Amino acid sequence: MTIEEEIKAIQDEIDKTQKNKATEHHIGRLKAKMARLKDDLIKQAMSKGGGTGGYSVKKSGDATVTLVGFPSVGKSTLINKLTDARSEVGAYEFTTLDVVPGSMEYRDAKIQILDLPGLVKGAAAGKGRGREVISVIRGCDLILMILDVFNFDHIAVLEKELYDAGIRINQRKPDVTITRTLKGGVVVTSTVDTTIDHETIKTILGEYKIHNALVNIREDITADQLIDVVRDNRVYIPAVLVLNKIDLVDKEHLKKFPKDAIKISADRELNLDVLKETIYDHLGFINIYLKPQGDKADLEEPMIMRGGATVGDVCDRLHKDFRRKFRYAKVWGDSAKHAGQRVGVDHTLCDGDILTIIIQK
């Protein structure tokens, strides 16, 4: 049996198993097996490429957004309208074979957008340079899932490919920690009621050969989410649904699509301003004002960071040596307990904070 066939066999077994308390732990074991096989598949696909032919994409700007979709949904047409890029457009599939970067300036932010080759079914397992495309997607800050009015049902395939590649869209990392221990078995503590029972948790960990660990659960999670925590190679990225080519259908027909999809025509430039605003909002930028020691803060030109950024992130942005040479920082603003609070690299900043960084000379 090939890995694909094994995965299929396990999926069939999960599908035909009645879901109830008595079978929960059997299903948990099957899911863990399947997750492991999918990881094998990804590894296999990567080694086949021999490590060559990967796209080298230099990140630039304040954040990176990728255009993800099936061939010919209009990704290249869109990047040409949103940025300074000139990516080839064609009425045939796989016009784009490379990653094409563009830069969009919006409000005070410089946003990098990457046009990608079309993703197809089986991409996560390496089809159509799928692995290379996926590794670019894994590194981005926001995914635009591009669909067109003719093939909206492709959404399920896109979601599955991203999922199989370890990309979790519009999810937070579960608030669960697993700490390996030398003995004592698997001990589960939880601060909330959990839907999966402790036996199932142990079974799933056992599938990954974890027989001694402290599992601390602070949020109710599914078996699949527990597997994600065990695997620890998942990325959590926000995504926005974009429906292109709306110029080709009438208003009545458009009502059939989900409300939260941004409906555009890249070619006719319909609704692109709404899309830009949505991109900006989803990236959750914050402004940080730098204040050199003993001097006034620069209130004219804030530094644009992503929400959740730490003092260390600001150091990295300023200079490659800043984190190494860092001594301490002082903060004024919403993140500070008091004006001028002394903080370390792990301190999380808020929008509007004023920051002084002190480094070794």
Ligand X SMILES: Nc1nc2c(ncn2[C@@H]2O[C@H](COP(=O)(O)OP(=O)(O)OP(=O)(O)O)[C@@H](O)[C@H]2O)c(=O)[nH]1
Which span sits near K ion by CB under 5 A: 83-91, 149-157, 303-311, 314-322? Answer: 83-91
Length of the chain: 361
By the rule CB under 5 A, 244 interacts with Mg ion: no
Name which of 153, 136, 109 is nearest 258 in CA terms. 153
CA-CA distance, 77 to 267, in Å (whole number)?
Answer: 6
CA-CA distance, 357 to 313, in Å (whole number)?
Answer: 12
CA-CA distance, 203 to 32, in Å (whole number)?
Answer: 9
The nearer residue to K ion, 69 or 302, going by C-beta atoms, is 69
Which span sits near ligand X by CB under 6 A: 40-48, 75-83, 215-223, 226-234? Answer: 75-83
For K ion, the nearest residue by Cβ is 95
The nearer residue to Mg ion, 70 or 332, going by C-beta atoms, is 70
* 3-class secondary structure, 132: helix
Scanning the structure block, which residue is given the tokens 């995504």?
239
Which span sits near ligand X by CB under 6 A: 66-74, 225-233, 284-292, 299-307? Answer: 66-74
CB 79 to K ion: min, Å = 12
The correct pick among 39, 61, 95, 268 for binding K ion (CB under 5 A) is 95
CB 96 to Mg ion: min, Å = 3
By the rule CB under 6 A, 151 interacts with ligand X: no
End-to-end Cα separation, the chain, in angstroms:
62
Which span sits near ligand X by CB under 6 A: 33-41, 68-76, 274-282, 313-321? Answer: 68-76
By the rule CB under 5 A, 64 interacts with Mg ion: no
Beta strands 63-69 and 354-359 are unpaired
| CA angle at 81 for the pair 101 and 159, rounded to the nearest 5° | 65
Q: Are 266 and 281 spatial neighbours (Cβ–Cβ below 8 Å)?
A: no
Sites of contact with ligand X (CB under 6 A): 69, 71-77, 89-91, 93-96, 118, 244-245, 247-248, 265-268
Sites of contact with Mg ion (CB under 5 A): 75-76, 95-96
